[in-house]
Amino acid sequence: MNVLKSTSFLLFSITFTWSSYGMTTLSAKEVKVQAAKEAKAIEVEASLSDDHPAIEEGVTCADCHEIKLDAKTTATQVWLTGEYLGFAKNEGAMKNEKVKEEIVKAMGGKKKSGTCVLGTCINNTPTTTTSEFTLNPDTMTLHGIHEKGTAKLLHIKQNPRVSLDWHKEFTDWGLILCIQFTGRAELIEGTDPEFEKIMIDCIPYEKSAKQRKITLDQARTMSKQMMLITRIVVDEATITNMQFRKEGYRPWQRWTREMAK
Ligand code: HEC
């Protein structure tokens, strides 16, 4: 342990002890912020040592440490590019553009909506919500139109990082088809000109307007007043399709925005 590190450890311990005896003006939050400054990046599999500073309930490792996510060691990464079930390393992986085509083929593009499970996170507590989303292949963004004020929208407001799952109901191992998206969500208000553009270009609202016996204009006006649109900029999308094997590809394929640049 070098001098700098032991000093910071000592500082942290003193602050921590003081605050636990209520003899300091540092709030619990300030202690956390202080600790976060001291804490170094850790491996995803790191565990707590006996002399680790105490952690309050509800606080996660990531609140203080940056977690080094070495995706290469995960099972998924092996399925994607590793030596696996008859595939040599890097064999059977599709080009980014082809993965995108397969994703669009599975979920549909503009004016098609798919029932998805949206994962949001508030106060380190994840929640999943069933919601309809439409994929715009031009920008690889997902769009949903939602009633205002629901929990998922409040979650997104304070933490735009989301994960979204689209899948075909399981019937048989050989027919598994699902897509896992991760990305950043934005909320678009009815007063934003983007709202109407997205409705016209992407969201399949025509059928529901017809069912409600209102014109498309009326449907858009009402939506602008009562709804919010989410735009999820997809960073990564992983598709699992057991049928890919038939064409010599791995069943797991991943599109990334990084590679699409
Ligand atoms: C309240 C803030 C805080 C939380 C939460 C926290 N740590 Fe730490 N952790 C520290 C501080 C401060 C140190 C000491 C400074 C250092 O050596 O990085 C430390 C040190 C460590 C070290 C030693 C790092 C090294 O290279 O010496 C490991 C490993 C570690 N923590 C793992 C974890 C894990 C795993 C969790 C979650 C279960 C966690 N920590 C949660 C503040 C925190």
The pLDDT of residue 60: 87
First to last CA, the chain: 43
Write down the residue that tokens 């933490």 correspond to: 159
User: Is the torsion defined by CA of 18, 22, 26, 32 positive or negative?
Assistant: positive
The pLDDT of residue 165: 98
Q: What is the best residue among 7, 45, 64, 69 to mutate for testing ligand 1's pocket, by most ligand atoms within 8 Å of CB?
A: 64
The pLDDT of residue 37: 72
Q: 72 CA distance to ligand 1 centroid (A)? A: 23
Which residues are within 8 A (CB) of 71 and not within 5 positions of it... i.e. 6 or more apart?
77
Q: 61 CA distance to ligand 1 centroid (A)? A: 7
| Each residue's pLDDT tens digit, 53-65 | 888 888 888 889 8
Q: 37 CA distance to ligand 1 centroid (A)? A: 11
* Residue 249: both structure tokens together: 């590809």
CB atoms within 10 A of CB 246: 8
221 alpha carbon, distance to own chain's centre: 30
Q: Which atom of ligand 1 is nearest to the CA of 43?
A: 29
70 alpha carbon, distance to own chain's centre: 17
Cβ(44)–Cβ(70) below 8 Å: yes
CA gap 254, 234 in Å, rounded: 12
Q: Which parts of the chain register pLDDT below 50?
A: 1-24
Q: What is the best residue among 65, 68, 123 to mutate for testing ligand 1's pocket, by most ligand atoms within 8 Å of CB?
A: 65
For the chain, give the percent of residues with pLDDT over 70: 85
Q: 21 CA distance to ligand 1 centroid (A)? A: 22
Q: Cβ < 6 Å from ligand 1: which residues?
A: 5, 8-9, 12, 32, 35, 38-40, 42, 46-48, 52-53, 55, 59, 61, 63-65
Q: 63 CA distance to ligand 1 centroid (A)? A: 10
CA gap 132, 146 in Å, rounded: 9
CA gap 163, 217 in Å, rounded: 32
- Kindly report each contact of residues 208-211 with a partner whose C-beta sits within 8 Å and lies 24 or more positions away, as own/partner: none
The pLDDT of residue 81: 87
* Residue 233: both structure tokens together: 């900029």
Cβ(79)–Cβ(252) below 8 Å: yes
Q: Which atom of ligand 1 is nearest to the CA of 5?
A: 17
